[in-house]
Structure 1
Amino acid sequence: MAGAGRYICGLVSALSRIDTTNEYFIFLKRRDQKRFSGLGENFHLVTLPNLSRPVRIVWEIAAPRQMVRRYGLDVWHSPHYLLPAGLDDVHSVVTFHDLTFFLMPHLYSGTKRRFFQAAIRHAAARADTIVAVSDTTRADARAVFPDLSPEKLVRVYSGTNGTFKPVTNPAALARLKTALQTGSKFVLFVGTLEKRKNLGVLLSAFHRLVHNGHPDARLVVVGKPENGLRQTLEAIRSLGLADRVVLPGYLPDADLPVLYSAASLFAYPSQYEGFGFPVVEAMACGTPVLTSNTSALREISGRSAMQVPPDDEAGWAARMHRVLSDEAFRSSLVDYGLERARRFSWQQTAEQMVEVYSRFRHRRTAIRVTEGQAENPFIARTPEKLSPLGAAILRTLVYSDIFDFPLTEDEVHASLIGATSTREAVRQMLRAQEMRPFVESSEGYFFLRGRGHLVEKRKERARASARLLA
């Protein structure tokens, strides 16, 4: 799970354990419900349809105003940068995880960079409170937005949960090493394979390590492929490390504690992080950690003996050699890391977030749902004479009509509410006789009967977005 997902799941779970007073409404996709099972009675899951990316972005920007009114919310917390417009009746909180879109813009495509820069600028200007996940992120936000009030920026560290602890079961450790073919000694990296993770330096340093007394060592690189994958594969090939580097791809969180525990060393040479979940998780599992001496990694690791300049290949090779060769040094890193990791728990995060939320509880009295799961406000009743697929298409168009947003054929298929179907079946149903009393189309867009003016409205929004991103 990526960092944003870790943050949301960890925070919500901890809030459920410590706060039985406030009411919480969690807006999420239906497929993510299983991640939030077992929450307290004061937590209500409001499920959303499986939206296509364009429709989801519209929802994130426009729909929350309706949710505020429907549920009488006092506080709206956006946990990942995007703050909806028009939240004037509630206290708005947004979490900034890092400022890479401003500090390292060259790592992103032009469209993605411009979108997130605009979204973060909007959040910085309109949010009542900005939660920074580290002092580093807080300082970076002040540097990027010098007019931000210090009182508006609150540092609340992210955390880790109790599943990350040393695994000492010999059979479990042996099974993992056999399954991944790691050998008895391996260096571990966990994280998305992005350019800023700096895997080229790690691979070059590992190459030196292999030729400096550790010919049996392996490097295990775990994570979802991103924009650094091609460079990583090229480096492995050019350095002749194909038989020494293991690339298992993404592994589920349940496998990580035993993976960290089995590693001889965890190495994380990232050029920039706003927090650094893998560093905390590895320390909590009793694995000796080396990381960069930059950004929040210096802050979170907290000890210079664990830190190496991110671009110092020779320094990384020498420090890894010492960890693998000097048992006293290795043990000191393990003991320090276990103690250091205790400073970052989701319970502490949740306690501080409750304080943030509670500052503004007096502004409105919430209309709370106290029994059962909150009703999904988007699943409209449909005429009984429609087929299941026709009813699903109509529900999808009713939902999109909330935002004055007609859909293309592909968007209807991708966002289908309450059913799954092939693209061809959706295409035929959109034009079927049974849909004609309810659905019209124009210029490739589909919408509820009598709502054809929305086509031009959507086109104008697209032109406005293009001007914003130009």
Structure 2
Amino acid sequence: MISKEVMFVTFIHNSLAMRIFLDATTISPVQSGTGAYTRNLLQSLPHVSGAEHVYAAVGPETGKFLSLPEKTTLLNKHCSPHRVLNHQLIGNRDRIPADLAIFPNYFMPLFWEIPSAVTVHDLSFLSHPHYYSFKMRQWYRRRIRHSVDKASLFLTVSEASARQINRHLGVPYDRILVHPPCWLESKPIVPHEQRSKTLLYLGNMEPKKNILTLIEAFNRSGLTQYCLELVGKLHAGGSWARAFRHLADASDRVTWTGYLSDDEVKRRLSEAFGFINLSHIEGFGLPHAEALSCGTPCLISHDAAMQEVSGGRSLVTDPDDTAQIAGQMRALAEYDFDKAREHAAEMWERFSRKKYMESLEKITNRLTSENAPLFPGFGAGRPNKTTAVLATASYAAVFGEPLSVSKMYLAFPLPVTAEREVRNEAARLAKQYPGLVSMRRGQFHILQPDAVSNIRKLDGQKVHSLVRRRHQLLLRLLGRVPLIRAVYYSGGTAHQTSLYDKPDLDLFIVTRKNSVWISYLIIRLLSMMMLRKDSCCSNYLVDEHAQEIFWQRDYYTAFQLLFLKQVFRKPGTRHIRQCNPWIRQFFPNAPVTYNTAENTHESENKSAGTKSLISGLVFAANLAVMRLFAKKWEMNGRKNRSGGLMWDAFRIKLHSNDHRPWVYRIYDHILQNTLSRIRSSNRENVRKVSGSW
């Protein structure tokens, strides 16, 4: 049998875990550079330290050919990548319970409030606009501006691209993180005498890749014993496509193979005599890096990103100078293969699997850096009983309140067999340090010399009763609103504290599916009609289908959910604690299992088509109300994920106290000050005993 102590350590470990969402819709059987980049992410993210689960949105065919690591769930989307981003993921309508998200294809969905990283591979539509249509340029500019406004972090694959992001989009460097798109594994190097007399290009056939100049330069190079092989799909039309086909067909020494499988591409890269890429713009150049790792000599344009990746290991040419390119092709044919072998070993070291994983760790750490400490004041380790009692009471002391021993037992961070263990330790501390802590009528209180009030003189239960009666009509009206499924007392109202200076109701509200913002608007209107605008505080509102609080799975949130007091809960609505079993990761003595007899949702007799239509209309209205409130709050300087405020399409958190920086500072001050005073008292007692001898 596993002991409670072992279970507690396991809970501590699991509470650090994070759930990651990845937009993997760019992965397809015909793999592009962005698709390869995304596939590497999908294969690696489940192995990042602390990763609990990875949710990946994929295209209709992805699951048929993709091998998945453990801890991965595919969310199938039967449409194009851009349609998924712009419609299927808007407002996180699938309620994906992720702690962070990565979007590898430039954009992120509208109304997406999970901390996210967006990858921008290059900004060629801004730096080289003549390669794109006016419509495409305008679309990319508009959508990427949304990414600039909403993304927590910008990812890119080279320092050159980072400079473009800073220059063209105005994103500061502290929001940009450069990480490699792949890792390069060591492999046997094919000797030069066994290689084919082939110069290879790998990539799309499109104008910005400078293919026409490449063919012309090869025809002028005089390399009659060599052939030029072009591998990739045609990604252009019109006059350029006709010119490309004409040039490719005009020479017997130029071959266009079209798209090839990954295994075939790797074989040709390792057996080619040289690799050439004369692109005008690249974000990284995956084929170029792969060729170097195969010991294949490379000729590249003076594009900044490719030169950065090469690190001086490739021949470089002006992509617009045909004569210079032809000369460099002749030099490529005579390249020293011993030097190319050395370059391969250097690339294996520079782009190793270990460094790739370290880079992913940086990404996840940056996106989760604002999370609250696991156990404020004493970290993730298991404290002793004395520290545990003081740390638990310190939370109540932040608000100048005592904490009952019965509540302390439920919120105790150590597994204990009975409440008396906690009571005995609290009583011992009160007896041994009477000037530091007190114990009266089962209430444990940390005495602070600088506190406004050490012990409340008013009867909290009596004040709470008065406040509740004052709002009785409002609570009755909330119960009659069809969109509201459950109401709980939370915060100071649940603890019958903090009612002296501001006698309002702190409520935790559960709403019907897709209507959390509509319900919030109704509550505001009801409060205003009853002249109760500032006295009914909706600390949390959550959708009944999104009751898991995954934003901040921390001590403060667990404490709040543990002590909610139910006002009413309509049939078919799950209790909030049933949806948040992670509470026990912080409080192993907490009883969070409830009767599940009512754990069924109300059946509806409408047809599936009608339900889908109505649900879509309600969701659209919900997003519209969300946008109005979000704009108003941001105009007033109240930003999402700032000062304890948080919201998305299905959850609204307006209870800011628990996660404000001042709470952390006061909490730590109270706990550390109390521990210091106890240590000082112990040293004084030792000196007195020594003096008596």
Extract unaligned runs of 5+ from structure 2: 1-30, 373-550, 554-578, 583-602, 625-693
**How many angstroms apart in 2 are the aligned matches of 1:117 and 1:16?**
33
2:180 match: 157
Alignment length (residue pairs): 366
For 1:41-190, what aligned pairs fall within 5 Å after superposition?
41=71, 43-48=72-77, 50-51=78-79, 55-60=83-88, 62-64=90-92, 66-67=93-94, 70-88=95-113, 90-146=114-170, 148-162=171-185, 165-166=187-188, 168=190, 184-190=196-202
Matching residue of 1:10: 40
1:287 to 287, 296, 299: 296
- For residues 239 and 346 of structure 2, the distance between their equivalents in structure 1, rounded to whole angstroms, comes to 37
- Aligned residue for 2:397? none
1:27 aligns with 2:36: no
Return the alpha-carbon distance in structure 2 between the equivalents of residues 300 and 19 of structure 1: 27
**Amino acid across the alignment from 2:62:** D
Show the counterpart of 2:365: 358
Residue pairs, 1:319-334, within 5 angstroms: 319-324=328-333, 326-328=334-336, 330-334=337-341
Shift of residue 230, structure 1, vs aligned partner: 5.3
Amino acid in the other structure paired with 1:158: P
Whole-angstrom CA distance in 2 between matches of 1:53 and 1:273: 21
The answer to whether the 8 A contact 1:72-1:368 is kept is no
Q: Give the 3-state SS of the residue equivalent to 1:131 in structure 2.
A: strand
Deviation at 1:235, TM superposition (A): 5.2
Distance verdict in 2 for CA 1:305–1:31, change over 3 Å:
closer
Task: Identify if the C-alpha distance between structure 1 residues 245 and 29 changes in structure 2 by more than 3 Å, giving closer, same or farther.
Answer: same
Q: Distance in 2 between matches of 1:398 and 1:186?
A: 60
Q: Which moved more, 1:198-207 or 1:25-34?
A: 25-34
Whether contact under 8 Å (1:268, 1:290) holds in the other structure is yes
Aligned equivalents of 2:285, 2:82: Cα separation in 1: 30
How far apart, in 1, do the equivalents of 2:181 and 2:581 lie?
A: 29
The answer to whether the 8 A contact 1:280-1:344 is kept is: no
| Residue 344, structure 1, aligned to residue 351, structure 2 | yes
Change (3 A) 1:33 1:350: farther
The answer on whether the counterparts of 1:99 and 1:140 sit within 8 Å (CA) in structure 2 is: yes
**Do 1:221 and 1:248's aligned partners in 2 also have CA atoms closer than 8 Å?**
yes
Q: How far apart, in 2, do the equivalents of 1:207 and 1:106 lie? A: 27
Q: Structure 2 length as normaliser, TM-score?
A: 0.48
CA distance in 2 between counterparts of 1:347 and 1:165 reads: 17
Contact 1:187 1:266 in 2 (8 A): yes
Q: Which residue of 2 aligns with 1:302?
A: 311
Q: 1:161–1:345: 8 Å Cα contact kept in structure 2?
A: yes
Q: Give the conservation status (yes or no) of the 8 Å contact 2:159–2:305.
A: yes
Paired residue type of 2:347: R
The 1:124–1:400 alpha-carbon spacing in structure 2 relative to 1, beyond 3 Å, is: farther
Taking a change above 3 Å as real, the CA distance of residues 20 and 356 of structure 1, as seen in their structure-2 partners, is closer
After superposition, the C-alpha distances for 1:85-136 in whole angstroms (9 at most, x for unaligned) are: 2233x21211111101111122112222211111111101221111121101
What TM-score results when the alignment is normalised by the length of structure 1? 0.69
Structure 1: gaps of 5 or more residues: 175-183, 371-381, 387-393, 406-450, 458-470
User: What's the secondary structure of 1:22's corresponding residue?
Assistant: strand
Match of 2:224 among 196, 201, 215: 215
What is the Cα deviation at residue 35 of structure 1?
A: 4.8
- The one-character-per-residue Cα deviations of 1:30-80 (angstroms, maximum 9, x if unpaired) are 411245424123x222222x126785353255142x34xx34322121111
Q: How far off is 1:264 after superposition?
A: 0.8
CA distance in 1, matches of 2:264, 2:33: 17
- Shift of residue 200, structure 1, vs aligned partner: 1.5
Distance in structure 2 (CA, Å) of the matches to 1:194 and 1:56:
26
Structure 2: distance between partners of 1:123 and 1:262: 42
| Identity value in percent | 25
Q: Take 1:101 and 1:94, find their aligned partners in 2: how far apart are those partners?
A: 17
- Over 3 Å counting, the alpha-carbon distance change for 1:186 and 1:277 in structure 2 is same
Q: Does 2:74 match 1:40?
A: no
CA–CA distance in structure 2, aligned partners of residues 252 and 369 of structure 1 = 46
Contact 1:14/1:347 (<8 A) preserved: no
Cα RMSD of the aligned pairs, angstroms, is 3.5
Shift of 1:29: 2.4
Pair 1:283–1:54, CA change in 2 (3 A):
closer
1:198 pairs with 2:203:
no
Shift in Å at residue 227 of structure 1? Answer: 1.6
Q: Which amino acid aligns with 2:338?
A: S
- Distance in 2 (CA, whole Å) between partners of 1:400 and 1:337 is 57
| 1:198 positional shift | 0.5
Q: Distance in 2 between matches of 1:62 and 1:151?
A: 27
The residue aligned with 1:253 is 262
> How far, CA to CA, are the matches of 1:336 and 1:302 in structure 2?
10
Task: State the secondary structure of the residue aligned to 2:350.
Answer: coil
Distance in 2 (CA, whole Å) between partners of 1:79 and 1:157 is 13
CA positional deviation for 1:358: 2.6
CA pair 399-215 structure 1, distance change in 2 beyond 3 A: farther
Which position in structure 2 is the counterpart of 1:315?
Answer: 324
1:140 offset after TM fit, Å? 0.2
Query: How far, CA to CA, are the matches of 1:368 and 1:30 in structure 2?
Result: 32
